[in-house]
Structure 1
Amino acid sequence: MRKWFKVLLSLTVACMLIITLAACNPGNEKVRIAEVTRSIFYAPQYVAIEKGFFEEEGLDIELTTVFGGDKVMTTLLSDGAEIGLVGSETSIYVYAQGSNDPVINFAQLTQTDGTFLVARENIGEFSWDQLKGSTFLGQRKGGMPQMVGEFVLKKHGIDPHNDLNLIQNIDFANISSAFASGTGDYVQLFEPQASVFEKEGIGHVVASFGTESGHVPYTTFMAKQSYMDENKETIEKFTRALYKAQGWIQTASAREIAETIQPYFEDTELDIIEMSVDRYRSQGSFATDPILDEEEWNNLQAIMDEAGELPQQVDHKTLVNTEIAESVIEE
């Protein structure tokens, strides 16, 4: 009898705890985010969730990875999510198609390209001229990684379509496995794959496209104009939580950051996550505040134009809202 009483008492206490925890956030607003991919590059977003910064603002975040900028836009436009995390170029593509409800960039997450040039051989001292005549495994045509890649190659006097064998018909998810199986002399990769290849001896990081291309609004949070007009307070809360995470990530150790975001990368060793975070932070990839300024916006369009992918020039104020980020920072 005592045994059953103890079990019953334990269950009662557990139920009361669950009810108490649920009651702590009775008025939290659900916000759905559609992210373009799952990446250590987006560490501040996962920090904002795991450290409770969104919850402090009364927001419950539902995060979905939809794999592809076009899919993020489709999800946003069809009201499958309130907020998208994707490259700013996608908002230009949508605008150029004549959308009567444009997608507005309101908070910047990353401010450089996130890819690295990985060589198959350990070539010692690297120079960009060494790419000439090589087979280069690039990214998908029209996407920011490929556009930045071509921009950097041209900056160093390399014609990507004539001076090397450029391969860009492999799906994003299969690029790393293609290189691992022997395709290409060089490959353009995100973390943590670049660090994994270094550790396994498959390749060697020789340059950073992020360092070479300068500041661009590489990944930003965006929402439809209509949603922002009707939910200004929600966007403010969201931006405030992000800004808290951006501040925290600048002062925490790479190890602390890695431990915080590890639940999102269960198949990646903690040391690799730490190495990737450190590499991104040391080159200034994580935006230190949510403001997407005009210089970055113009740099983005210059890169798109150089790649022949800019459908039209769009003024910064047309697709970027900095007022909310500025007001959050002033607080």
Structure 2
Amino acid sequence: MRPASSARSWFRQPGGEYTPDTVTVGRRLRVVEPFRSLFYAPQFVAIHGGHLGAEGLEIALSTAARAGGTVEALRNGSADLALGGLMRSFELVDRGGPRLVHFAAVNDRNGFFLLSRHPRPRFAWPELLGRTVISFGGAPTPWLCMQAVLRRHGVDPARVTFVRDLSTADAIAAFRAGKADFLEHGPPIVDELVADGTGHLVASMGEATGPVPFSSFMATPETLARERDVIVRFVRGLARAQRWMAAATAAEIAAVLAPAFADIDAGIRVRAVERYRLQSTWVAEPVLTRAGFEALQEILLGGGFITRRHRFEDLVDTELASHAIGTLTG
């Protein structure tokens, strides 16, 4: 982390939520996200709503060039913090690698949805038997959650054909061309395909999977120890954004997100935000829970993604978020 000359021009006042008496300007944090998504709305509300600026932080946000790029950026020191799934930390330690510690929750639900090529007003999970499903190719967690849901409903995942290696553009093209019966993806792709009649929404994977800590901020143990005070400020800004979102309408949230998603139609942006709000996708506060950790661990074990159990205390730091909430004002 290096100081910036001035971050004051970058600040936006946080929507009437909080204005500090004093601001320590100029701390720059390099944050990497796995991909650009409305699913990560709390991050963008924290940035564009001014909540992190109010903590004196300037965020240099980048998007990983490939799957797993967030882990690589933390390990090679090109990023200070990363947004991503706990799955990444499970994977790393399960294969004998170093720890990456998660310290601030963002999502508490699977953010993906299942579309069918044809209307299925009384959809049931056995309808996937013998069918082809295009899974989201950017991360393994959606696919692992799908397997868990199928097993929960008595469906053997081995009797479903999954296509897992397509880019978003190729997945959309294949689905439009009728090369699959179902597509699993997130907004705004889901909303656009429903709007033009290509797909029909049959299931929310967030509702089907249940509460799991799908996305959170992570860092190396060394960064957390060295920059603890700065990261508390980061988490406090995120918590303030989460508090604002809990009281805001979908339209208000979508408006704050506009600078990060200018390529998405405003109406679709609002509908996508409302869809996420209705299933309680975004957490109300950033403290990660042991129950959520264990629920995700069961999914990863059941899918064969990890081979043994790992301790909550080794992969999660709850003290940072608890302290940040305890010092939250406004």
Q: Give structure 1 stretches of 5+ with no counterpart.
A: 1-17
- TM-score between the two structures when normalised by the length of structure 2: 0.89
Q: Secondary structure at the match of 2:31?
A: strand
Question: Which residue is 1:147 aligned to?
Answer: 144
Decide whether aligned partners of structure 1 residues 288 and 69 sit closer, same or farther in structure 2, where only a CA change above 3 A counts: farther
Corresponding residue of 1:89:
87
Query: Which AA in structure 2 matches 1:150?
Result: Q
1:146-173 per-residue CA deviation (whole Å, 9 max, x = no partner) reads: 10111111111111222x2222232355
The residue correspondences of 1:177-326 to structure 2 (distance < 5 A) are 177-326=173-322
The 4+ residue runs of structure 1 with deviation greater than 4 A are: 18-26
* 2:119 maps to amino acid: N
Distance 1:148 1:80 in 2: 30
Equivalent position amino acid for 2:87 in 1: E
1:79 is the counterpart of 2:77: yes
Q: Which amino acid aligns with 1:305?
A: L
Structure 2 partner of 1:6: none
How many residues of Structure 1 are paired with residues of Structure 2 in the alignment? Answer: 312
CA distance in 2, matches of 1:75, 1:53: 25
**Alignment pair present for 1:122 and 2:149:** no
Q: Which has the higher helix share?
A: 1
Q: Structure 2 counterpart of 1:320, which letter? A: V
Identity rate, percent: 30
Distance 1:160 1:67, change over 3 A: farther
- In structure 2, C-alpha distance between the alignment counterparts of 1:33 and 1:22, rounded to whole Å: 16
Matches of 1:31 and 1:242, distance apart in 2: 14
CA drift at 1:139: 3.2
RMSD: 2.1
Task: Quote the offset at 1:125 in angstroms.
Answer: 2.0
Contact 1:137 1:183 (8 Å CA) reproduced: no
**Are 1:69 and 1:90, in contact at CA under 8 Å, matched by a contact in 2?**
no
Q: C-alpha separation between the residues in 1 aligned to 2:192 and 2:139?
A: 26
How far apart in 2 are the matches of 1:58 and 1:19? Answer: 8
Separation in 2 of the partners of 1:273 and 1:73? 29
| Secondary structure in structure 1 of the residue aligned to 2:191 | helix
Change (3 A) 1:283 1:25: same
Tell me the TM-score normalised to structure 1 length.
0.89
2: CA distance between counterparts of 1:289 and 1:26?
A: 24
CA shift, 1:67, in A, is 4.5
Distance 1:155 1:292, change over 3 A: same
Instruction: Give the Cα separation in 1 of the matches to 2:195 and 2:81.
Output: 36
For residues 257-305 of structure 1, give each alpha carbon's deviation from its aligned partner in whole angstroms, at most 9, with x where no partner exists.
Answer: 1111012112210110111100111101101111111000001110001
* 1-structure distance, mates of 2:155, 2:10: 58
* CA displacement 1:153-199 (0-9 Å, x = unmatched): 1111111222x222223235532232123221111111111111110
Structure 1 residue identity aligned to 2:232: E
Q: Structure 1 counterpart of 2:54, which letter? A: E
- Residue 27 of structure 1: SS of its match in structure 2? coil
Q: What do residues 204-258 of structure 1 show as CA deviations (whole Å, max 9, x unaligned)?
A: 1111111111111111100000011000001100000000110111111101111
Deviation at 1:131, TM superposition (A): 1.7
CA contact (8 A) 1:69 1:87 kept: no
